Amino acid sequence: MTATNASPLLIAQGLCKQFGGLVAVDSADIEVQAGSITGLIGPNGAGKTTLFNLLSNFIRPDRGQVLFEGEPIHGLSPHRIARRGCIRTFQVARVLSRLTVLENMLLASQGQTGEKFSNLWFQAGQIRREERENRERALDLLDSVGLLAKAQDYAGALSGGQRKLLEMARALMTQPKLILLDEPAAGVNPTLIGQICEHILTWNREGISFLIIEHNMDVIMSLCHQVWVLAEGRNLAQGAPAEIQKNPRVLEAYLGE
Ligand SMILES: Nc1ncnc2c1ncn2[C@@H]1O[C@H](COP(=O)(O)OP(=O)(O)O)[C@@H](O)[C@H]1O
Ligand SMILES: [Mg+2]
């Protein structure tokens, strides 16, 4: 899927966040075109993770707005934002170590009839069908990321890279339109990084858009249609990966690293 001629799926404008005296995000903008893989890069401490927290409302912005499919989402809970189709993963994968890999997947499924207590007595058949479908979907996704053999293992027994894959597969359980990935390649061995990139490309071809924070420039350059650069909480540059790679202001911002 190409990123051209598409309307923005996500637009954030003028986002600000201060922690005490520290301005972590300073009037930052970002856009993700529908169907795209968009990168978000910048030196350590630039405010990238904070920006993700603001986009998904894990942290409330001091100022600014976030539109998803043209509708404001900055007042919604992370859970509601996820239900709209915008879901994020974490820099350090958050899996529930003492649940099995499959249980971690099933916890993510949503919209089940069984969630409404009043429906329980009347729709037992439908609940059982949804549970069966969720289980099948979970097993299919685990199979596609190579974790099927680990379905009954505790998630705590997975390697760092496998946890990242589990977190991505779990995000897909919610049938999202946009996935925000915070450093999917960090701490992952090179073979697994290659696999993660292949999965992202496959899911993107299936219609899912991505916003990816990543330090590994090979990953950014090989995956992204557009790259946004943040430095000291502010927008520094945006453009095609090849332009960004040779932008003197971007190179300068990375020199101090
Ligand atoms: N919850 C917090 N409380 C105080 N300071 C924070 C908090 N989260 C992030 N920061 C600070 O905000 C700045 C940006 O951090 P972060 O968004 O994690 O950067 P990045 O992800 O680009 O490395 C850093 O100086 C960091 O120490
Ligand atoms: Mg970060």
Q: What is the pTM of this model?
A: 0.90
Q: Say if residue 41 is in the same domain as residue 129.
A: no
In angstroms, the first-to-last Cα distance of the chain is: 34
Q: What percent of the chain has pLDDT over 90?
A: 71
Residues 6+ positions from 164 with CB-CB distance below 8 Å: 89, 93, 184, 188, 196
Task: Return the axis-axis angle of helices 101-108 and 124-144, rounded to nearest 10°.
Answer: 120
Print the domain residue range for 60.
8-95+174-255
Per-residue buried b or exposed e for 121-147, using 16+ beta carbons within 10 Å of the residue's own CB? eebeeebeebeeebeebbeebbeebeb
pLDDT for the residue 151: 96
Shortest-distance Cα residue to atom 1 of ligand 1: 19
* pLDDT at position 125: 76
Q: For atom 8 of ligand 1, which residue has the closest CA?
A: 50
CA 68 to ligand 1 center in whole angstroms: 24
- Asked if the structure places residue 168 within a domain, the reply is no
- Is there a domain that residue 233 lies in? yes
Number of structural domains found in the chain: 2
How confident is the model over 144-189, as pLDDT tens digits?
999 999 999 999 999 988 998 999 999 999 889 999 999 999 888 8
Task: Supply the pLDDT for residue 198.
Answer: 93
- Please enumerate in sequence order all residues whose Cβ is within 8 A of that of 90, keeping only pairs 6 or more positions apart, or say none: 167, 182
Position of tokens 């249980």? 103
Indicate which CATH number applies to the domain containing 196.
3.40.50.300
Give the residue, by CA position, lying nearest to ligand 1 atom 12.
Answer: 24
- Do 18 and 68 lie in one domain? The reply is yes
Nearest-atom number in ligand 1 for the CA of 52 is: 17
Domain end (from 131, 157, 183)? 157
14 shares its domain with 71: yes
